[in-house]
Structure 1
Amino acid sequence: MPYIGFGNEKEVYLLGRVLRNREVGYATIDDSRFKNFKKMYKRFMTWEIPNIRITASFEGKQWTTMTDEEGYFEFQIKEYSFPKTDHSWRVFDLELVDQVLPKQGMVKTEANIFIPTKLVEYGIISDVDDTIVPTGATRFWEMIKTTFLGNAYSRIPFPGVAAFYQALAKGTDGKENNPLFYVSSSPWNLYDFLLELLVVHQIPKGPLMLRDLGLSRDQFIAGSHFDHKLNQVEKIFRLVPDIPFILIGDSGQYDPEIYLEVIKDFPGRVKRIYIRHVAEKRKEEVLQIQTTMLQLGVQMLLVSDTVEAAEDALAQRWIREVDVQKIIEEKSESEIKNP
């Protein structure tokens, strides 16, 4: 199971995992809650394949790595040149070298790698839970119920999100060259579910940076929510060094605090921060952080809906007016369908 990789013309980062195929399959709009639960159960009850070799191949060059005790494999490729072109995506061939099963035959797949083109205006990094889709991440049992009983069709994004992210990807030239990255504290077990969620709701795909819940990787949950998200956002900044970023999150789980650290660590790289206001009890804290950010030269907007953020992006001339109209229309249609 390769995860979408990314990098620049000198370095590529690719992560993935080798697991027994539980045949989860794709969701349908008619799936029952029980069927959704069975699929989610399979995602978490994994059978990992440790200590085996994986090769990655691209344009005649080959690299080899091994899976760890939880089946994860990682490639950090630095000794190869990936020149910028007009196309964002590269395709790597992955192959399982070692035999796991008798008569297993050849086990191969492809991994998509995002390398920004020469036409990029800026990048976008977004949280997922309570930023793209309502999750109740600050209310534990509501989050568990939503996660285990829903699917990609029943989980409805906030109104206008898909059109807004499409507009940001298009920028001012309408060509969808601006990369989107998604950073979440959800476990890697949900990777295929979240990718399917993006596709079903026509939200531009991009690398998903999730978290490991394994016992054998340092601790029960690999790092705190804060540390995980900060490390992943800053990894993106380091591997995509030549462009500024718009950061999007919510007020419920410390995204403002995390983004403040990013501003301090990478001065001049953040264009704007949009924070969806979902936690009234944290409003004063968030407004204090907003003041600190302004002193550092970055404006953070606390918004109640997607259109507010879109109108600001239009005023800054980062997106097109025609796309803002689509955002308004999508928001209205979504609110009618899902009152």
Structure 2
Amino acid sequence: MGWFKKDPLQIISFQSYGTDSHFFARGRTLEDESIDLESQKIWHLAVNTWKRFKTDEIRNVGVNIKLPNGKILKTTTDADGYFRVEANLKALEALTNEQGWLAYELSYDDVNIKRSIQNENRFPGELLIPADTAQFGVASDIDDTILQTGIVSLLKWRVIYNSIFKNAKNRTPLEGAADFYQQLHQGVSGENANPIFYVSHSPWNLYRYLEVFLKQNNFPKGPILLRSLSNFLRKKPEGEKPQKQKEILDLLKTYPKLPFILIGDSGEHDPDIYMEIAEEFPDRILAIYLRSVKHKKRMLRVKGLVENYKTTAFLMVESSKQAIAHAREQGFIK
């Protein structure tokens, strides 16, 4: 009716990954709710949390992806506003910067759309193409692996409290985690540029929140791989692999010559997922690091699982110092 001003549109590109010949991008089209990632006021934090999950997605709309060489790819968003583009191309590595990131531009296909910020129909995106110097990749969980969330707390009340009443810049990383990941990224030569992939069961609604947290706390820049809220809420059919497992298997498929280190925690399903992956790819998984959580029953279960496990190096750690010492012994870091 024209009484209320409509929110501007945006295209959120999720940092992704690819190869010299394979382009892979995904993201979401939404109304821009102007979420304030800086405010520390309780009311603003609560409102921002509501905005993250009460999204106004732009359904079934055309999106263009323009590469630096002028190549344009086209896709259409689904009923939740998500899009996913994969294409076999050539010489993509020549388009990357020194850190291996390929920047591209997204836009709505409809030239009449004038509701983007400043009426500009241009949005940034990027994907990582690992350097030839990389010796291995790292696939890491986020919750209670590098970010204190309280995932094993009673009724997960700490997760709820932290997500609503703390902004991304005030969240606490686990001690020494950023230093450990920087060393893994640098590798034994100090310049290996080993890629770090952050794989979590958290919904895509938390993407920008987690992106700010990682940057604020000096973690290596890397693709953040989450899942849709609809998949988060639905009951998983019997026999279907968890989304985190699917993401890691896709990484192994994309980089068939790159071995991986898997990092997680003992609080949820990481032990089962990582062990199953290692059994399927015993020559590709260099080590599994699991951070211990303060939950006696779950710790006993995990210890029972790994007691006679011999497929790959498997280390339960109380601190990042233990993981760093082991990684140095194994020749992963200098």
TM-score (norm 2): 0.87
1:60 has 2:73 as partner: no
3-state SS of paired residue (2:258): coil
Task: Structure 1 unaligned segments of length 5 or more: list them.
Answer: 321-339
**Is this contact kept in 2: 1:9–1:81, CA < 8 A?**
yes
Shift of 1:281: 1.3
Shift of 1:100: 7.2
Inter-partner Cα distance in structure 1 for 2:20 and 2:135: 17
RMSD of equivalent CA atoms: 2.1
* 1:114 aligned to which of 84, 108, 128: 128
In the TM superposition, what are the counterparts of 1:266-281 in structure 2 within 5 Å? 266-278=281-293, 279-281=295-297
Inter-partner Cα distance in structure 1 for 2:112 and 2:51: 20
3-state SS of paired residue (2:172): coil
1:18 has 2:26 as partner: no
**Is this contact kept in 2: 1:211–1:222, CA < 8 A?**
no
Aligned partner of 1:127 in structure 2 is 141
Aligned partner of 1:45 in structure 2 is 54
Q: Percent identity?
A: 32
Aligned partner of 1:252 in structure 2 is 267
In structure 2, relative to structure 1, the CA distance for the partners of 1:25 and 1:80 (3 Å cut) is farther
1:89 has 2:98 as partner: no
Inter-partner Cα distance in structure 1 for 2:233 and 2:115: 36
Matched AA of 1:211: R
Task: Structure 2 unaligned segments of length 5 or more: list them.
Answer: 1-11
Shift of 1:101: 4.7
Shift of 1:43: 0.9
**Is this contact kept in 1: 2:37–2:167, CA < 8 A?**
no
Matched AA of 1:137: I
3-state SS of paired residue (2:275): helix
3-state SS of paired residue (2:37): coil
1:32 has 2:44 as partner: no
**Is this contact kept in 2: 1:260–1:289, CA < 8 A?**
no
Shift of 1:169: 0.6
Inter-partner Cα distance in structure 2 for 1:134 and 1:159: 10
Inter-partner Cα distance in structure 2 for 1:167 and 1:263: 23
* 1:197 aligned to which of 199, 213, 221: 213
**Is this contact kept in 2: 1:2–1:110, CA < 8 A?**
yes
Matched AA of 1:264: E
In structure 2, relative to structure 1, the CA distance for the partners of 1:282 and 1:69 (3 Å cut) is same
Inter-partner Cα distance in structure 2 for 1:134 and 1:117: 31
Inter-partner Cα distance in structure 2 for 1:304 and 1:207: 26
Aligned partner of 2:318 in structure 1 is 304
After superposition, what is the alpha-carbon deviation per residue over 1:255-285, rounded to whole angstroms, capped at 9, x for unaligned?
Answer: 0100011112223111111100103212333
Aligned partner of 1:4 in structure 2 is 15
Aligned partner of 1:319 in structure 2 is 333
Inter-partner Cα distance in structure 2 for 1:191 and 1:51: 21
* 1:136 aligned to which of 150, 160, 163: 150
1:73 has 2:73 as partner: no
Inter-partner Cα distance in structure 2 for 1:49 and 1:13: 21
Aligned partner of 2:7 in structure 1 is none
Inter-partner Cα distance in structure 1 for 2:235 and 2:177: 29
Matched AA of 1:228: Q
Inter-partner Cα distance in structure 2 for 1:154 and 1:220: 27
Inter-partner Cα distance in structure 1 for 2:137 and 2:326: 17
Aligned partner of 1:325 in structure 2 is none
Matched AA of 2:279: K
Aligned partner of 2:4 in structure 1 is none
Matched AA of 2:198: Y
